[in-house]
A = this chain, B = another copy of it.
Amino acid sequence: MHSAPVLAIGEFSRLTHLGVRTLRRYHDAGLLGPACVDHATGYRYYTAEQIPAAQVIHRLRELDVPLPEVQRILRSPDPASRAALVADHPQRLESELERTRAAVASLRRLLQPEPPPLDVELRAVPAATVAAVEDDVAHDELLAWYAGAMAELDAAVEEPVGAPGTLCDNALFEHGRGHVLVYRPTARPPRRGRVHPVTLPAVELAVTTHAGPHDDIDVTYGELGAWVVANALAVAGPVRERYPVGPRDTDDASAWRTEIGWPVFHVGPG
């Protein structure tokens, strides 16, 4: 026998294609400890049985699964529940891909040499009491939250008057988390579940309409913002959106129309 089936860290590294330092890190993190540690020297010794675990970690890391999550997956002893945890991640990858697609679309529009002119309308919006759902939401959970809130709103409001809309706190974009309010105008706002009446204050808005899916809506935001700045109107308060034509109305995303209303402080003929 040349070597007992006990592996020094370097051998284990060659067998698993994980770097020596990385193995030490995984040990420190409690992710993949050696089968035995020499107390006198600190030497780590692994066994061949640990190779599959190391490979699983390697693959999960290639999928950018964070180490604590990897730990949770390895801790779950049942292969079925383990598989379930792993199956969770394609979802994450899916949404990642979606984000990428949107960024590419937006980039294409940004790099387009001739931006079409922007139609901006100044509009005085009176105060109104509406049915609303509101919460503090993180940017990456926004879409899911939005879908749920809108569904609840739809179920609760019997006679909607006009298009639904949103008020978005700026903090949502600056810090990735902020207050969001989804509303639906109606004569008598109900109170059911998360749905409750809210009185939106009167505002003066600089309004433009974004056409198509929201992939590149940030570009329209920027153009509207530039317009507001160029026309010397001070800003204040949350941005408003309205959805005259949205996913509820048609599956043809190119037909969607989103009004973006930027609060302006001083509107007058001068």
Interface residues of A (CB under 8 A from B): 1-5, 7, 11, 13-20, 48-49, 51-52, 54-56, 58-60, 62-63, 79, 82-83, 86, 90, 93, 97, 99-100, 102-104, 106-107, 110-111, 113, 170, 173-175, 218-219, 221-223, 225-226, 229-230, 232-235, 265-266
Q: How far is the CA of A20 from the CA of B111 in the complex (A)?
A: 24
With both chains docked as a complex, state the minimum distance between the C-beta of A231 and any C-beta of chain B, in angstroms. 9
What are 30 A-B contacts defined by CB distance under 8 Å? A2-B233, A3-B234, A5-B229, A11-B229, A11-B235, A14-B174, A14-B225, A15-B221, A17-B173, A17-B221, A20-B174, A48-B225, A48-B230, A51-B223, A51-B225, A52-B110, A55-B110, A55-B218, A55-B222, A56-B107, A56-B110, A58-B218, A59-B106, A59-B218, A62-B102, A62-B103, A63-B104, A79-B113, A83-B111, A90-B104
Contact of A174 among B13, B222, B226 (CB under 8 A): B13
With both chains docked as a complex, state the minimum distance between the C-beta of A122 and any C-beta of chain B, in angstroms. 15
Q: How far is the CA of A20 from the CA of B13 in the complex (A)?
A: 43
With both chains docked as a complex, state the minimum distance between the C-beta of A115 and any C-beta of chain B, in angstroms. 8
User: What 8 A-B pairs have minimum CB-CB distances, sorted nearest first?
Assistant: A17-B173, A15-B225, A62-B103, A48-B226, A48-B229, A59-B107, A2-B234, A51-B222
Contact of A266 among B2, B14, B104, B226 (CB under 8 A): B2
Would A14 and B235 count as touching, CB distance under 8 A?
A: yes
Contact of A111 among B62, B79, B170 (CB under 8 A): B79
Would A230 and B5 count as touching, CB distance under 8 A?
A: yes
Would A232 and B3 count as touching, CB distance under 8 A?
A: yes
Q: How far is the CA of A55 from the CA of B115 in the complex (A)?
A: 14
List the B side residues contacting A235 at CB < 8 Å: 11, 14
List the B side residues contacting A111 at CB < 8 Å: 56, 79, 82-83, 86
Nearest residue, chain B, Cβ from A18: B174
Whether A86 contacts B59 in the complex (CB less than 8 A), given A79-B113, A113-B79, A174-B20, comes out as: no
List the B side residues contacting A83 at CB < 8 Å: 111
Q: How far is the CA of A266 from the CA of B56 in the complex (A)?
A: 30
Would B107 and A229 count as touching, CB distance under 8 A?
A: no
Would B86 and A218 count as touching, CB distance under 8 A?
A: no
With both chains docked as a complex, state the minimum distance between the C-beta of A132 and any C-beta of chain B, in angstroms. 23
Nearest residue, chain B, Cβ from A115: B52
Q: How far is the CA of A181 from the CA of B2 in the complex (A)?
A: 29
Q: How far is the CA of A5 from the CA of B15 in the complex (A)?
A: 62
List the B side residues contacting A100 at CB < 8 Å: 62-63, 93
